[in-house]
A and B are shown apart, each in its own frame.
Chain A
Amino acid sequence: MLTVDGITMRFGGITALDGVGFAVEQGTAVGLIGPNGAGKTTLFNCLTRRCTPDEGTVCYEGEDLLSLPPHAVAGHGIARTFQNLGLFQHLTVRENVMVGAHHRGRTGYLTAALRLPRVRREEARLRSLAEELLRRLDLADVADHPASGLPFGTLKRVELARALAVEPRLLLLDEPVNGLSHGEVEVFADLIRAVREDFDLTLVVVEHHMGFVMGLCDRVVCLDFGRTIADGPPEQVQRDPAVIEAYLGAAA
């Protein structure tokens, strides 16, 4: 479904990604781990076209992803969440989710200004779509609440709901359980497993919480200083000496 090949990304003198390559099969969940600064989020940014790598190719469903403009990525069924939440603070939870469904609407400025019947119909459609997702993620009670001021755990679910509103086939989660308490991590992991099943999602997950990654992912790719140092089933990667060294440092 997704093939990343030889991605190199330099910021000035720093090489954030150095020839990274891996493949994601349809329906699998791939974990992306590595110490801070290993280039995981930069890789996500390349996949959502926020930055363009200096070298390498990204092939998604047989198409060259890097030739798409950034706003077209959602239309191709790719959604993401952000490391420290990328919600629209002053918009309500429902509006946040409805923005997620932006590419599924067609209303332009002129038709919106005149509020033609077709605009009303589209609004109703996007609204009910958001409503359904809010119910699924147990957010119906806070639908009219602005995003700012809600508990962190709730906001994580709002962001997930917004990403699902994109109707993705590939969902990129950037540290989904970062900042959650121990109990919340398990609950959120269950939620992601359920959602993955129901929406038939392929997942790429960046996460430091090893228990979460090992429990969710079918395969794990480990990055260190912009290079792939391990790629395989979770148990194997966990035992890999290079991975242990990257995380714990070499023995003195």
Chain B
Amino acid sequence: MSTGELTMHASRTARWARPLAALVITAALIATPYYFAPFRVFQLTMVLLYAVVLAGLNLLVGYGGQISLGHGAFFAVGAYTAAVMLDRFTTGHLATLPVAAAGCFLLGLGFGVPALRLRGLYLALVTLAFAVFLPPLLKRFEHVTGGSMGLTVPKPQPPSWTGLAEDQWLYFLTLTVAAVTLLVVRNLLRSRVGRALLAIRENESAAEVMGVRLSFHKALAFAWSAMFAGVAGCLYTWVIGFVSPDSFSLNLSITLLAGLVVGGLASVYGPLLGAAFVMYVPNLAQDISPAAPGVVFGLLIIAVMYLAPTGLAGLAARARQGVRRCVEHLRHTRRRPEPASPAEQTGPPQPEPQPLTAPPTIGKG
């Protein structure tokens, strides 16, 4: 087989691999609730729910380069918006989602304004203040929020034609919202606005010279990020059917940020991996040491950051790269007798850095 044929073959496989993988993953995600016990399905629902808030947080922290320690509070606002609507008015569940999203978007926009002036730790402190002050506020307005006792609200019931159990229905609702969220975040990042955000993270003054309006992009990144936290909060109310101020302590904000960093900042799969970490690792820590689960949780975070400084997603990418390099190496050694330059054999053409002295080919020179 000639090198050309081999490369063509490789690219043909790659073209099929993606849709095939997507199909398999979709099928697996749809089949999941039929195969697992309700408790496992509930856990997976929570993973998807956390993935929504982490995808939003990733937009702000990973891609936008800002820090928020207040996303637990936006999550709480979304959850309480849904709970109060369900408790006081008979709006139905579906109506709570856009209201929670819009409310958190506006609130995020309000927080985006200090984000224009504050940077790094100072912004972190302002958002931290929000996370600290929200739970007591929720307790104070007892007649609306139910105070420390919280609010118990009905969960969305599966329509009878689906034949689904409640946990399965909640799983599919959350799966839909999570899929839309990940798609929207990906769309944002693959566009002019996503590039603008990255440019701001990398070099503010250069971005501004290129015509990127810093204040506009920073404020809107915050607003969109808060909106996804609000959407996740609304889903939380649907799934749990109960909200109380203690569910949204400062700890939640910090856990979310830790989960994102562990999962992988500025990575597409980071939020999913981070969500699994946020969901399962505290339980795991509890199993390992019922006496001091916090210590085990902390040690696990340290271990992950030490072994995978770019997060779990970075680890996965590195493993994939290693495997590919290994395969290429094998292929290369096996076909050594055939005289061919190694550059031709590596599937997609690798960009070769130009030598410094290469004269640029410019017409009319």
Contacts and interface: CB of A to CB of B under 8 A. Distances in A.
Contacts of A113: 184, 187-188, 224
Contacts, number: 156
Looking at A90, A109, A141, A162, which has the most chain B CB atoms within 10 Å of its CB?
Answer: A109
B356 A99 contact: no
B361 interface: yes
Contact of A86 (B187, B194, B203, B364): B203
Interface stretch (A7-15, A21-29, A145-153, A200-208): A145-153
Given A138-B361, A142-B351, A152-B356, A112 B213 contact: no
Interface string A159-199: 00010001000000000000001011001001101110110
B210 A166 contact: yes
B56 to A, nearest CB: 12
A71 B204 CA distance: 11
A60 interface: no
Interface residues of A, number: 65
Interface stretch (A100-108, A230-238, A241-249): A100-108
B351 A145 contact: yes
A79 B353 contact: no
Contacts of A142: 351-354
Interface string B311-343: 000000000000000000000000000000000
B188 A90 contact: no
Given A109-B224, A166-B211, A193-B365, A119 B206 contact: no
Given A50-B208, A102-B212, A114-B187, A190 B192 contact: no
B2 interface: no
A123 interface: yes
B192 A126 contact: yes
B356 A181 contact: yes
Nearest to B185: A113
A65 to B, nearest CB: 14
B209 interface: yes
Nearest to A105: B192
A74 B208 CA distance: 9
A87 interface: yes
A122 to B, nearest CB: 7
7 contacts: A88-B206, A102-B192, A112-B193, A115-B187, A187-B360, A193-B365, A194-B365
Interface of B: 184, 187-188, 190-196, 198-199, 202-203, 205-214, 220, 224, 351-365
Interface of A: 48, 50, 69-75, 79-80, 82, 86-91, 95, 98-100, 102-103, 105, 107-109, 112-115, 119, 122-123, 126, 136-139, 141-145, 149-154, 157, 162, 166, 181, 183-184, 187, 190-191, 193-195, 197-198
Given A107-B193, A114-B184, A142-B351, 5 more contacts: A86-B206, A98-B195, A119-B191, A142-B353, A191-B360
